[in-house]
Amino acid sequence: MVVTRFAPPMPAARGPLSDRIRSLLLAGPPGTGPLAPLPERVGADPWGEDHQLALYLCYELHYGGFAAVSPEWEWDPELLRLRRALERPFLTALRAGTRPLPRLPALFERLLTEPRDGSGASHFLLAHGERWQAREYLVHRSLYHLKEADPQTWVVPRLPGAAQAALMAVQFDEYGAGRAERAHTRLFAEMMADFELDSRYGHYLDVAAGAALAVVNLMSMFGLHRSLRGALVGQFAAVEMTSSPSSARLVAAFERLGAGPAGIRFYREHVEADAVHEQLVRHGVVRELLLAEPELEQDIAFGAAAACAVEERLTEHLVSHWRRRESSLRRGVLLGG
């Protein structure tokens, strides 16, 4: 399978904010027409579908972009001003939702301890999951894993040398260690194909829930702002520290649901790789960054806590729908598949 990054079509709007950004980008290159302001109640619900899609549209210009949208929009100052108006309430909500913020050692210790309640999506899929629910899980995750490692790469030039070197060791694995067929994005695409899903980049954006968009938006926002470099490192640490156990559960769940070798290879790779990556990120990236810039400790803790917060929102969305035997997608196109 050859995985090609392409510019997906512009998704449908989910409200006035995303409709404004969508219309702006489709109208032509910057300067084509007047730039009207965003609707007044920008901060009404920063977790809502409309707000998260509007942010996602802005951030995607820094990745593959969208079909029929001029690449000149990427750094247009007026669009960046509008994006900033969307980022502020999202960042405020993240900070409010992670208070009181624990000290970094205590937070990391908690992340390394498996929760006893077994409430995560991987627990549900292992114990109760059906194939249609596994397919929905992959649809939501495709927004992240088909661009896996890209948001964290933005932080590389913003780190001191030793932390930078440790991060690049992890990223080398993420991109396939020099072998395109081993890149994690490709392994994820092959897994989607095994579950009879379309693995084209961005194909499922229209049906993915806002909670899945928020996971990606968090990484994009942290990665694009040098002032949030500590938060990005914290996010990356949280992912690597919690990935291995959940990946092992997903391997077992997908095997039970009839996945072939390609359908478990992605998560099987993460069971071993992320156990190593966790050590590299915690003892290499985080420790070395704190030695050089100790003032970033609270930012790292915030990033890790915020990563957990968005993941918990996505888990709650998925599991609450599945327990009611309802599709977790915005349109249940895969229900019963």
Interhelix angle for 77-97 vs 49-60, to 10°? 130
Name the domain boundary from 74, 96, 118.
Answer: 96
> Which amino acid is present at 241?
M
Q: 71 in a domain, yes or no?
A: yes
Residues 195 and 319 occupy one common structural domain: yes
The predicted structure's pLDDT at residue 33: 67
Q: Are 165 and 250 in the same domain?
A: yes
Query: What's at 85, amino acid-wise?
Result: A
Query: Looking at the predicted structure, is the pLDDT value of residue 205 above 50?
Result: yes
Q: Give the Cα separation of 62 and 90 in Å (integer).
A: 19
Query: On the CB side of 125, how many CA atoms lie within 13 Å of its CA?
Result: 26
Q: What is the mean pLDDT of the segment spanning 159-185?
A: 94
CB 186 within 8 A of CB 149: no
Cα(122)–Cα(251) distance, rounded to whole angstroms? 9
Q: Which residue has the tokens 């009404």?
A: 44
Q: Calculate the CA dihedral of residues 24, 25, 29, 30 and round it to 10 degrees.
A: 50
Asked if the structure places residue 25 within a domain, the reply is yes
d(CA 199, CA 288): 37
Q: What is the pLDDT of residue 42?
A: 66
Query: Does residue 220 have a pLDDT over 70?
Result: yes
> How do residues 134-156 score in pLDDT, each as one tens digit?
999 999 999 999 998 999 999 99
Q: Which of 66, 96, 126 is the last residue of a domain?
A: 96
Q: 146 in a domain, yes or no?
A: yes
The answer to whether residues 123 and 249 touch, using CB atoms and an 8 Å cutoff, is yes
Statement: residue 2 has pLDDT above 60: no
The domain that contains 222 carries what CATH number?
A: 1.20.910.10
Q: Are residues 232 and 204 in the same domain?
A: yes
Is position 333 within any domain? no
- Looking at the structure, tell me whether residues 78 and 112 fall in a common domain: no
Please tell me the number of Cα atoms within 13 Å of 260 on its side-chain side. 9
Cβ neighbours around 34 below 10 Å, total: 6
36 pLDDT more than 70? no
Task: Mark whether 201 and 315 lie in a shared domain.
Answer: yes
Number of domain units in the chain = 2
Residue 336 has pLDDT above 60, yes or no: no
Q: How confident is the model at residue 101 (pLDDT cuts 50, 70, 90)?
A: very high
pLDDT at 1 over 60: no
Domain of residue 316, residue span: 103-323
Express each pLDDT in 37-95 by its tens digit.
666 566 679 999 999 999 999 999 999 999 999 999 999 998 999 999 999 999 999 99
**Residue 273 confidence (pLDDT):** 72
Same domain, 204 and 81: no
CB 310 within 8 A of CB 218: yes
Over the chain, what HEC string results? CCCCCCCCCCCCCCCHHHHHHHHHHHCCCCCCCCCCCCCCCCCCCCCCHHHHHHHHHHHHCCCCCCCCCCHHHHHCHHHHHHHHHHHHHHHHHHHHHCCCCCCHHHHHHHHCCCCCCCCCHHHHHHHCCCHHHHHHHHHHHHHHHCCCCHHHHCCHHHCCHHHHHHHHHHHHHHCCCCCHHHCHHHHHHHHHHHCCCCCCCCCCCCCCCHHHHHHHHHHHHHHHCHHHHHHHHHHHHHHHHHHHHHHHHHHHHHHHCCCCHHHHHHHHHHHHHHHHHHHHHHHHHHHHHHHHCHHHHHHHHHHHHHHHHHHHHHHHHHHHHHHCCCCCCCCCCCCCC
Please tell me the pTM assigned to this model: 0.94
* pLDDT at 116 (0 to 100): 66
> What's the token pair of residue 132?
């249609």
Residue 231 counted as domain residue: yes
* Last-in-domain residue among 54, 75, 96: 96
Per cent of the chain over pLDDT 70 is: 93
Q: Please write the tens of the pLDDT for every residue from 231-247.
A: 999 999 999 999 889 99
